[in-house]
Copies of this chain bind each other. A is one copy, B any other.
Amino acid sequence: MSQSVERALGILPLLAKGPAGLGDVADELGVHKSTALRLLRTLNEAGFAYRCPDGRYRLGARLFALAAEAIENLDVREVARPHLAGLNQATGHTVHLALHQDDEVVYVDKVDSRYPVRMYSRIGRPVPLTVAAVAKLLLADLPEAERRALAHRIEYPRYTARSTPDAEAFLRELDRVREQGWATDLGGHEESINCLGAPVRGPDGRVVAALSVSAPGVVLPAEGLLELLPQVLRTAGAISQDYSGVQETA
């Protein structure tokens, strides 16, 4: 739509991968060095790019500040926070909250496990769509047509032997999840990690977020995790209720 903006935005992913010089950027964008320079300068002035002392460019602090600010302002998060903390307190395990946007599912909050052996994750990070419990929950609620389209659009990496292999299996899994009202990921992403998740619903009954409890098998075997189901469902329900009550605070 808007050429220069498109190009400028295209630079950011390059910088995210690591520092890059002017030449690198120009090459990857397929534009003249002078053009790249001007774009980088604009990004720099706006604080989105940062000029290292050695002349190379990195992503700027502004970007982090924005991401942090936006995540703070996601209203569900606020409502959910105390409940997540409670669930963590009760179970001791890592608790996540995730949202869905476009073709991605992102963690927007987490409370770390009390145990030294923890699942690795980071707020703001995209979640593996085809295996994560929270992803299944959020995608299962999409309208039929969109769900099918998305299932065929995405890829199915074989993280482990238990990963969802293809679109057909994924759609079947989503149906099951929608029906039973909760989801699991038993070693589908990392062999030793199991997750159990439940949906948070908005006032209209649509799924607006999903939470999950994760624990490595060495700390808690899958059977033990499943025993937490009532607690997980109760927490998700409580958040849904809170959230439906105080909607439209903006």
Contact = CB atoms under 8 A, between A and B. Distances in A.
A6 B6 CA distance: 12
A17 B73 CA distance: 7
A11 to B, nearest CB: 10
Interface stretch (A60-68, A150-158, A187-195, A229-237): A60-68
B122 A68 contact: yes
A245 interface: no
A205 interface: no
A160 interface: no
A226 interface: no
Nearest to A17: B73
Given A5-B5, A8-B5, A63 B67 contact: yes
A176 B219 CA distance: 47
Within the oligomer, what is the number of copies of this chain?
2
A64 B106 contact: yes
A136 interface: no
6 contacts: A1-B41, A2-B38, A6-B42, A17-B73, A67-B124, A122-B123
A250 B52 CA distance: 14
B101 A50 contact: yes
Contacts of A42: 1-2, 5-6, 9
Interface residues of A, number: 55
Given A8-B5, A16-B73, A71-B122, A102 B60 contact: yes
Given A47-B102, A123-B123, A8 B2 contact: yes
A65 B104 contact: yes
B67 A67 contact: yes
B18 A61 contact: no
Nearest to A6: B42
A198 interface: no
A126 B63 CA distance: 11
B1 A4 contact: no
